[in-house]
Chains A and B, each alone.
Chain A
Amino acid sequence: MEDIKYVFDVKKDDFVRAGETSSKVKKILRELGIDSSIIRKISIAAYEAEMNIVIHSTGGQIVLEITPGVIRITANDRGPGIADVELAMKEGYSTATDRVREMGFGAGMGLPNMKRCSDRLYVTSSEGTGTHIVIEVDLKAGEQGE
């Protein structure tokens, strides 16, 4: 009952608005009174997921769901998908073009950062279909602000 859900569209190659979704996520969590260290983790993870949709996909959505026990970020895109998820998860692995790298993206740390900043990370993807990512962070008792 006490769940709340927000859906944000993320466009391909839209660098002007890139980062806006994770900013909005952060603001919502702050207003809810979530502990600031958890806000930081979620917003970093959400940012990486958002940027991957902007850079690597043809567009998609970020969904934020909050329940009293867990915060969940779901990132869905329409493709092209990741051929080898295990490889993509490796630190430093990136298929980003030189152009993208010049702009300060594509260090290959996005997926590893999502892992580091979450309690659970699920990546489902294959070539041809889209990529589906779920990032979860638990709200343990006593971690809801001071």
Chain B
Amino acid sequence: MNKMKEKYFHSVVLDADRCVGCTSCLKVCPTEAIRLKEGKACIIGEKCIDCGECIRICPNHAKNAVTDSKEILKNYKYTIAIPSLVLYGQFRGNVGINEMLTAVKKIGFDEIFEASVGTEIITNVIKNHILRNPEKKRPIINSSCPAALRLIQIRFPELLPNIADIETPVEIAARLAKAEAVRRTGFSMEEIGVIYISPCTARMTSVKHPIGIKKSYIDGVLSMKDVYGMMLRNLGSNTEDLTRSTKESLLWPIIGGQGEPLGIKNYLAVDGIHEVIKILEEIEMDKLEGLEFFEGMACVGGCVGGPLTIENPFIARRRMKTLAKGLPDSNPSDEEIKGQIEMYKSGFIRLTEAIEPKAVMRLDDDICKSIKKMEKIKEMLKDLPGIDCGVCGAPTCKAFAEDIVKGENRNAVCIVKTMKSFNKEKPQS
């Protein structure tokens, strides 16, 4: 059991006491990774992509994310906070960026490092280097959404070569922050703790089990929900001048914010995991000819819609756009861009490890057995009501049949079918 847990670490977990077995999450899960077992919504580890849809929908808050606690700061001699840029949109009223960052620092961090450094680099490298490589498969797909990456691994393996092989803004920021801090403070890598303040469940998983890199430079992840409360108390006094963010970087976590600054016409930005799936289907079938760049974000609105945010995504987006107006334009020099491309080429900010396909949707490793199982499922489906009510614990009648044929969820029964045959047997009166 423990071994299983290790193999498929997920940040999304079930609080069994709160789960009433209502089937809401079963229906929204884009990979059909949830089953009711003994009335509780259990996650199938190998299928979960940590998108957080279940967290968002659960009326009883029974689905949660495992994140670190503030105590983690005690493990380090020097601590650096990297708040997701989405944080800037979380406060109503006229709270400025410096005020927010100062409030984060007062939680107990020695330093604040902005993720905007990372967004600038990604835009520059994709625009001036990756897009100029004619060998790279089109459309180039953003690597910034870890839930979308996991989705591609299990459902669209043919599109893995299209993924831009560059790290995410946070990871790049973490690398630069740590390297700089080592130089400046004299502490070792291990003594310095880089803590990410995250709106995202999938990012949490990626820190523990990275995709495309060997090891993350992020040492801990705090949920933005938790940090929000801590910050509120600190807002308002002795504001430090901490921000170096640009207009472009503030728009980056809003859908379209990655494609737009690339300066190309043929990009497509899509938000919401179910819509992302539809478009990836089209890309896989070569139906979107001429598309250069695809920005797919699992959450509605982009990262501003992350499951660990407090503010409504549309309000947060408005707030960020307003804040962006007061910031300078990004204006990198040729020298800077050249340096960033070198950094990418050296592998420091690049996805150096292959992203492997994961065939979790298949019925069996042996095709002959798969065919037999498929035949059985087809037979069973003729006998099932086809209303996908979820009462049996599977999201659809087909998933119910699949589970039985695969030998999982043996105790599941179809109540609708049982009732129908019961009614038939009843003598007419």
Q: Which residues of A, 60-74, contact B by the 8 Å Cβ criterion?
A: 66-68
19 of the cross-chain contacts (CB-CB < 8 Å) are A3-B371, A4-B371, A4-B378, A6-B378, A23-B281, A28-B374, A31-B361, A31-B402, A32-B374, A36-B158, A36-B357, A39-B158, A47-B285, A68-B367, A68-B368, A68-B371, A145-B362, A145-B365, A146-B357
CB < 8 Å: which of B158, B368, B370 contacts A31?
A: B370
Contact A146–B371 (Cβ < 8 Å): no
Contact A34–B367 (Cβ < 8 Å): yes
Contact A31–B363 (Cβ < 8 Å): yes
B-chain residues with CB within 8 Å of residue A40 when the two chains form the complex? 158, 284-285
**A68-88 contact mask (Cβ, 8 Å, vs B): 1 or 0:** 100000000000000000000
Q: A22-B285, A146-B357 are in contact. Are A33 and B363 (CB under 8 A)?
A: yes
B-chain residues with CB within 8 Å of residue A47 when the two chains form the complex? 285
Contact A31–B374 (Cβ < 8 Å): yes
| A37→B161 CA distance, assembly (Å) | 12
Interface flag for A139 (CB, 8 Å): yes
| A67→B157 CA distance, assembly (Å) | 23
Contact B370–A33 (Cβ < 8 Å): yes
Interface flag for B286 (CB, 8 Å): yes
Q: Which residues of A, 1-51, contact B by the 8 Å Cβ criterion?
A: 2-4, 6, 22-23, 26, 28, 30-34, 36-37, 39-40, 43-44, 47
Contact A33–B365 (Cβ < 8 Å): yes
A-chain residues with CB within 8 Å of residue B368 when the two chains form the complex? 2, 68
Contact A144–B285 (Cβ < 8 Å): no
Interface flag for B136 (CB, 8 Å): no
For chain A, give the interface size range: 20 to 34
Contact B367–A37 (Cβ < 8 Å): no
Contact A32–B359 (Cβ < 8 Å): no
Contact A145–B359 (Cβ < 8 Å): yes
Chain B residue nearest to A143 (CB atoms) is B367
B residues in contact (CB < 8 Å) with A: 155, 157-158, 281, 284-286, 357, 359, 361-368, 370-372, 374-375, 378, 402
Instruction: Give the dominant DSSP class at B's interface.
Output: helix
A residues in contact (CB < 8 Å) with B: 2-4, 6, 22-23, 26, 28, 30-34, 36-37, 39-40, 43-44, 47, 66-68, 139, 144-146
Chain A residue nearest to B375 (CB atoms) is A4
| A22→B370 CA distance, assembly (Å) | 20
B-chain residues with CB within 8 Å of residue A37 when the two chains form the complex? 158
Q: A22-B285, A145-B362, A146-B359 are in contact. Are A32 and B158 (CB under 8 A)?
A: no
| A28→B378 CA distance, assembly (Å) | 11
B-chain residues with CB within 8 Å of residue A144 when the two chains form the complex? 366-367
Chain B residue nearest to A107 (CB atoms) is B289
A-chain residues with CB within 8 Å of residue B284 when the two chains form the complex? 40, 43
B-chain residues with CB within 8 Å of residue A43 when the two chains form the complex? 284-285
| A145→B358 CA distance, assembly (Å) | 10
Report B142 CB to chain A, min CB distance, Å: 21
| A96→B91 CA distance, assembly (Å) | 55
Report A10 CB to chain B, min CB distance, Å: 17
| A37→B158 CA distance, assembly (Å) | 7
A-chain residues with CB within 8 Å of residue B370 when the two chains form the complex? 31-33
Contact B371–A66 (Cβ < 8 Å): yes
Report A56 CB to chain B, min CB distance, Å: 19
Report A123 CB to chain B, min CB distance, Å: 21
Contact A30–B361 (Cβ < 8 Å): yes
| A6→B382 CA distance, assembly (Å) | 13
